[in-house]
């Protein structure tokens, strides 16, 4: 059951989480700072959700994942202090902390799978289009999309494409529009 009937406006929350999840995948590789839009919305929704102090039942695996996310940040923070690095060095691992409220939201209010899969499909197609545009139109030796370099762009684009390949199994279970998926 993906509906959270214990909270008012749960349908609106599900729609917002679903749209935000779609935006995360659809825009992450094809728009400058595209990953920020969907994840930013998810963070705002999760903070509003958690402000209502919902009852959360976490499995052992959920708790372990949260502990790992916190530990990644803590190790990075102490490494910054020990080495005398600038605070900007913990930018990447600070996102582990930001992921925790989003995880808690998604565990309680999961997005509809059609939004996730369509976001991945559109994001993969857009990523391929950006790569072709940068390669053939702009003459880039190594397309990098709108991320830091070619390596994460290629790796993340490949991962999204492989997830779409896995999504074919889900698509085959859909009664409506299976041909479209």
pLDDT tens digits, one per residue of 57-94: 999 999 999 999 999 999 999 999 999 999 888 888 99
Residues whose CB falls within 8 Å of the CB of residue 156, separated by 6 or more in sequence, listed in order = 28, 29, 127, 147
Q: Distance (Å, rounded) from C-alpha 133 to C-alpha 125? A: 12
User: What three-state secondary structure class fits 163?
Assistant: helix
Confidence of residue 10 (pLDDT cuts 50, 70, 90): low
50, burial (CB in 10 Å: exposed 0-12, middle 13-18, buried 19+)? middle
Q: What is the pTM of this model?
A: 0.85
Q: What is the predicted pLDDT for the residue at 119?
A: 96
Q: What is the predicted pLDDT for the residue at 133?
A: 95
Q: Distance (Å, rounded) from C-alpha 22 to C-alpha 15? A: 10
Q: What is the predicted pLDDT for the residue at 43?
A: 97
Confidence of residue 9 (pLDDT cuts 50, 70, 90): very low
Q: What is the predicted pLDDT for the residue at 98?
A: 94
For residue 111, give the nearest of 25, 7, 8, 31 by alpha carbon. 25
């Amino acid at each position: 059951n993906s509906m959270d009937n214990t909270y008012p406006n749960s349908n609106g929350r599900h729609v917002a989480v679903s749209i935000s999840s779609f935006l995360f995948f659809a825009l992450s590789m094809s728009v400058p700072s595209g990953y920020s839009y969907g994840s930013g919305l998810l963070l705002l929704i999760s903070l509003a959700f958690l402000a209502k102090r919902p009852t959360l039942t976490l499995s052992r695996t959920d708790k372990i994942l949260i502990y790992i996310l916190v530990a990644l940040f803590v190790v990075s923070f102490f490494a910054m202090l020990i080495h005398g690095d600038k605070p900007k060095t913990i930018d990447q691992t600070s996102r582990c902390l930001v992921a925790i409220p989003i995880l808690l939201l998604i565990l309680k209010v999961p997005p509809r799978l059609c939004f996730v899969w369509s976001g991945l499909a559109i994001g993969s197609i857009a990523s391929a289009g950006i790569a072709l545009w940068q390669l053939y139109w702009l003459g880039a030796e190594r397309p990098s999309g709108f991320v830091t370099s070619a390596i994460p762009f290629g790796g993340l684009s490949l991962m999204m494409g492989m997830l779409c390949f896995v999504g074919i199994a889900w698509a085959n279970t859909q009664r409506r529009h299976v041909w479209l998926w």
